Each structure stands twice: as structure tokens, then as C-alpha cells.
Structure 1
Amino acid sequence: MLKVGVLGCGTIARVRHLLEYDNNKEVEIAAVCDIVEERAEEMAKLYGAKAFTDYRDVLENKEIDVISICLPNYLHASVTIAALNAGKHVLCEKPMATSKDEAEAMIAAGKLNEKKLMIAHNQRFVASHQKAKEIIESGKLGKIYSFSTTFGHPGPEEWSIDGAESWFFNKDQAFIGAMGDLGVHKADLMRYLLGDFSEVGAFIETNAKQNTDVDDNAVCILRTESGIIGTLTASWAYVTGGDNSTIIYGENGTLRLEADPVYSLIEEYRDGTIINHQLEKIQTNEEGGQSNSSIIDYFVTSILENTEPPIPGEEGMKSLEVILAAIESQETRQIVSLK
């Protein structure tokens, strides 16, 4: 049985990592760590683990096989590298790093130590997204022309354990705002569905939140290597509700993903045919949205079977590069090439 240590006991650890490790029969939650001692103690009691306030103490524990990193973005690279160098397999939250150099160093550490590194881009495993990929690859839509994908909600103060005081609003800790929280998810999803991007343009603003200089609204224009063009938006400016939808426009029809309250995927075709799919709901950080994201199960299986994780560091880096290119585009007012 694999023994896991979860670093960070905030919302993402509580609604994703800890719950899903606990539900996996191949895993024992052996350690939890948070700089707020009360949070670590609370999760330790709940899952029968040992509580720590210094992640280095967890890494020094020879019995720990696996580390989940649920820490602020600026710590992802350094703690991942330390964990890999300590001989642990690592599942790291997104965005995997704050620069390409950091991402490359993480990947190199995994290879050097012959340990698994996976990035927690859970959108790939949403039922509607996997069904859409199947439809696209079947050729049923014909040539894909365009897409629009959106991820927006009122902001981390609505669900983060620290509310309005969350590290998400601290640029030194978060690096980027809505683009790192939401945009990188959709960049990864569209790469999964349509292939890698070649060019990125963006308008990125901080215009909805007070007392922060991280972005809270972004609109990106993207072109894939195969010539598909589309838009990606990320926002913390919603007054109520949220939107995690994607629309894909093809030669023969349109796919609407997570764009309807009942049907997770709708196929609409030129001849008038409409096919509605009522699939498992997409996960959220809200109460009742805590269905299994499959991230933990895939990661554990890759370790036990010694196979490559479905979202290795190289994939996480490619999705990060889209966001880094968007930031560069905003700064330079130029279209940025990813080639």
C-alpha cells in the first residue's frame, strides 16, 4: 500500500486530494502538513494521519512514497523538486510552476530520481470532455473550425479557506490570478481536445477585485498548430454563479460542453439532428460538487503499474506555456509564437 503525504490543508486538499486518496484502497494517508497547525491537526484527526507544520519533516520520512502538493503557486517548483530528490512520487497542483525554467527543472528532477511527476489538470477526465474527444477523433464533426472556452466564477474569496485574505490575491505567492487559477485549466483542456497551440494573443486586466494586482479578467485568442482558432476567457468577476463551458464548431456540427444545466454534452448537426448526453456532472469546489475527479486514481495506477502518468510534467509545462505567452502578449501588445 502506498503511503501519501499531503502538503497544504486548504480547500483543494479537502475537496479533492484527501477525499480521493481516502477513497482509493491502494493508498494510506500517512501525513498531512500545513503552516496553520490547527488545519493540519484537523485533517490528521479526520484521516488518521500524522500532522506536520514543516513540509521538510514529511519529506524526511522514509515511509512516505507519494507527495501531493496543494501549496501556493510560488512553492510548486521548489517543493516538488525537493520531494522528487527525497525519492517521492509527486502530484502537483496547477499551474505547475511560475516559469518555463522552473517547469523544466521539475521534469529533470523526476527523470533524475526515476519518480513520477503528474500535474493535476482534472478537466481532462470530466465525462463530457472525454466524450467530446471521442467524437472529435471519430471524424463525426468533420474539420474543426473554431472554439470558445470559458471558466469564470466570483473568485477565490467564495471558496478558499482563507476567503478574501487568500494567497490567491498575493502576487508574490500566486504569480498570476484568474489565468493561473482558471485559464491554465482551459488551456490544458483545449490542448487535450484539439492539439497544441502555436500562437497566443491576450488582453489581461485587474479590474474587478480590490487590493490586489493579480489578474481577475482575461480574454485570449489562440491558434492551434493545425489552424483552429478560438477564444479562451478566465474571470473572477462573476457576481453570482459560474461558467465552465466550451463550444466547438466543426464542418458538420457543433459540440456544447457544460453549457446546459441538464445535459453535460449536446451534439448539434447540420441536418438538424440533436443528441443530448446526460453525463456525470463536472466537479466544482462548492458543496455537493465533490465527485471523483479521477486524478488520484490515475496517478496511483501509474505508480503501481510503473506507467507514465496521463498528465506528466511535460504536458503541464505545455499548458503553462500558453498562459506565459498570454502574459507576454499583454505586456508587449503582440501576438506571441509558441513554436
Structure 2
Amino acid sequence: MRIAVLGLNHGYTFAQQAKKMEGITLVAVAGNNASARERVKELDIPLFEDYKELIDTCLLDGVIITLPNHLHKEAVTYCADKGLHCLVEKPIADTTDAAREMIAYAREKQVKLMVGHHRRFSAKINHLKHLLESGVIGDLVGVNMMWVLAKDKDYYKEAWRVKAGGGPLLINGIHDLDNLLYATNLNIESAYATSRNKIRGLEIEDTVTAILEADDGTVIQYFLTDGVPSPWSYEFNVRENPVYHYYEEDCYYFFGTKGSLAFPSFRCYQYSEGEYGWKHALVEQHFPPAATVDPIAAELQHFVNVLKEEEEPRVPGEAGLRTLEILEAINLSIQEKRRVTLRESKGGNPEKN
């Protein structure tokens, strides 16, 4: 399968994987900054500054789109017009309206649209999903999630990162929200959230607290910040990317009627059979996953299988839209300082409440 990668920030990881994999040829990449020009030397393939020229010039089966979020719709539309299947990096788009238009256009043009929520390919996330669905902790009552670390001080020197959508909620928080939806199958009904910029004083947020309510009564508390030294975040705890230091800590906690489960240690606390209540000692068990995989490599292999028409996208556009709807509800709640309810109708917009 012949593919191209548009954008060489996160796209660089895809490009490196594609160069190593059998059954796939990386034809060209698109990028227009000094970093892209440097990275293409190692990739040893053509670089196009204009991604549209690349699409017009090269013979391709599919395209991986890792351009800035506001360009996703334009790029998917351009590729769909050429009959090219797309893997578009998360979030699917910068707004839910754009996401819906992308999904409809891809369907009209009969091309596959897959969203790059690569953690759905993580062995640990899939093991978590299996444990929760098995009922090991009973009916889910609540979830506590944290994403707390300190980004490099130079990170926010890029202009787009200090504008709306450039903060940690959309860039990083959307991963945690998608993990939540995928692992629990919860249908989120409402969000109440607040954000602050106390740490850096920039226009965009550096701290967010959100309370989410599901239609089955489950309540989720989520705290996110990228300006606090801390070992409690997905990147630091799952050991899936060697770029990040590893800390043997947990970042998610799941509370059920029969027990509680921590992730990614998979420590589970329950009472012994026949015992219940605070006067009894809890029993600790471990349910570690059997294996680990590189989720980016697994995602890319799946995309190749999609191009070969051997599989349907595991993360279709509709899944990416659902995650973005929740994030959009959180943002609206922050702006309006009120609880926001998501409409039950398919494709509905958040309603103020």
C-alpha cells in the first residue's frame, strides 16, 4: 500500500514506522518548516511544502493527516475528492460541525475515514476495557482521572499554542476522554467544568477540572494541568513511549459496587466473599495484561488492513466526533460557567442548562 504523511510533527512518528513496516511504501511527506526539512533527510523521501501538490502528483492508496486541527476538514475533503482513504490525527477536527461535514463527505465519496486515537490500540487500555466489561468491580459508580505534568518552558513559544485550541485540554485531554469512552462504553449526558491560567497567565488554559455525568448515573472527575511537576499522567505511567520518563504510579481509578481498580497498575481492591463493610479488611489482587504492543505501530498496521479492505476502521469518524462533542461541551461549560447537557439525538450540539 502506497501512503503519504501530511505534517511532520506527530506525523514523523508515523513516517518512521512506515519506513520499517512490510506491506507499506511511504511515497512522500508534506511539511513546510525547518524541522520537516531536517527530518526528511533521515526519511530519504520527497518532501512537498504544499500537501495539495503532493496529492496531485503522487500515486497513493491512503493518506495520514497530521496537520493542524483547523486544516483537517480541508485536507480530508481534498483527499476524498481523489478517492483516497484517510487516517486523520485526533481530534478529528477543530469543531463538531466540521467533523460532521467530514464524516458526511467521506461517506458521499465512499472513502474510509479513520481517526487517530491510537490509545485504542494499547494492550493496557484494551485490558482495562476487558476487565471493566467482565464485571470484576461490579457496576461502575465513579471514575477519577488525572493528567498532571509540566511541559517544557519552550513549548508555548509557538504562536498557535497560545490561541484557542492550543492548550492542554484539546491537545492532551482529548486522549483521556477517548480512553474513558472506549474503556467504559459510557454515554456522557452532561459536563460541568472550570479552567484557569494561574500558572502561565496566557490566553489559553493551563488547568482544568471537569465533572462528567453518564446516563447510567456514573460520575467522572477529571483534573488536567500541564504546568505542575508530577508523576501522575498517562504518558509517565504506561511505559508505551520511550520519550517519557516512567513512574510506577496510577493516573485513573475506577470505582464499582464490588470493588475498585487502578490503572495502569491493575491493582484491584475488594472484600472477601461473605464480607462487606469498613470493619473488614480489603483484599488486594493484581490483573496485569498478558502482553504489550506499540500502539502507534498497531494503529498503522490496522490502517494498512483498512486500505486492503480486510478490516473496517476501528476508530471511525463517528467515534472521533463523540469524543469531540464531550470536549466541546466542557469548553462551553467553562465559557458559560454552567452545566452543559449533550443532546441525545444523533449529531446534536451541546445545549446550555
TM-score when normalising by structure 2:
0.83
Task: Show the counterpart of 1:331.
Answer: 335
CA contact (8 A) 1:154 1:242 kept: no
The amino acid that maps onto 1:269 is Q
Equivalent residue pairs, number: 316
Asked whether 1:178 is paired with 2:168, we answer yes
Task: Show the counterpart of 2:11.
Answer: 13
Structure 1 residue runs of 5 or longer lacking an equivalent are: 259-263, 284-290
Asked whether 1:53 is paired with 2:44, we answer no
The amino acid that maps onto 1:24 is M
Matched residues in 2 for 1:239 and 1:168: separation? 24
Asked whether 1:169 is paired with 2:161, we answer yes
1:273 CA displacement? 3.6
Structure 2 residue runs of 5 or longer lacking an equivalent are: 235-250, 273-282, 344-353
CA contact (8 A) 1:40 1:52 kept: no
Task: Show the counterpart of 1:253.
Answer: 259
Match of 1:311 among 315, 318, 328: 315
**Residues 120-135 of structure 1: matches in 2 within 5 Å?**
120-135=116-131
CA contact (8 A) 1:208 1:236 kept: no
1:39 CA displacement? 3.4
1:97 CA displacement? 1.2
Asked whether 1:22 is paired with 2:14, we answer no
Supply the RMSD in Å over aligned alpha carbons: 2.2
Matched residues in 1 for 2:145 and 2:293: separation? 15
**Residues 290-305 of structure 1: matches in 2 within 5 Å?**
292=296, 294-305=298-309
Structure 2 SS opposite 1:9: coil
Match of 2:285 among 252, 274, 280: 274
CA contact (8 A) 1:31 1:52 kept: yes
**Residues 199-214 of structure 1: matches in 2 within 5 Å?**
199-210=190-201, 212-214=202-204
TM-score when normalising by structure 1:
0.86
Cα distance change on mapping 1:315 and 1:304 into 2, 3 Å: same
What per-residue deviation string (whole Å, max 9, x for no partner) do you get for residues 218-243 of structure 1?
11100122221111222111235551
The amino acid that maps onto 1:326 is I
Matched residues in 2 for 1:282 and 1:115: separation? 28
What per-residue deviation string (whole Å, max 9, x for no partner) do you get for residues 143-194 of structure 1?
1110011223223x46xxx8442355231xx624111111111111111122
Matched residues in 2 for 1:197 and 1:27: separation? 38
Task: Show the counterpart of 1:287.
Answer: none
Matched residues in 1 for 2:160 and 2:258: separation? 42
Rg larger in 1 or in 2? 2
What per-residue deviation string (whole Å, max 9, x for no partner) do you get for residues 78-125 of structure 1?
222222222211111111112111001110121112111111112222
Cα distance change on mapping 1:304 and 1:279 into 2, 3 Å: same
Asked whether 1:238 is paired with 2:225, we answer no
- Of all paired residues, the percent bearing the same amino acid is 23
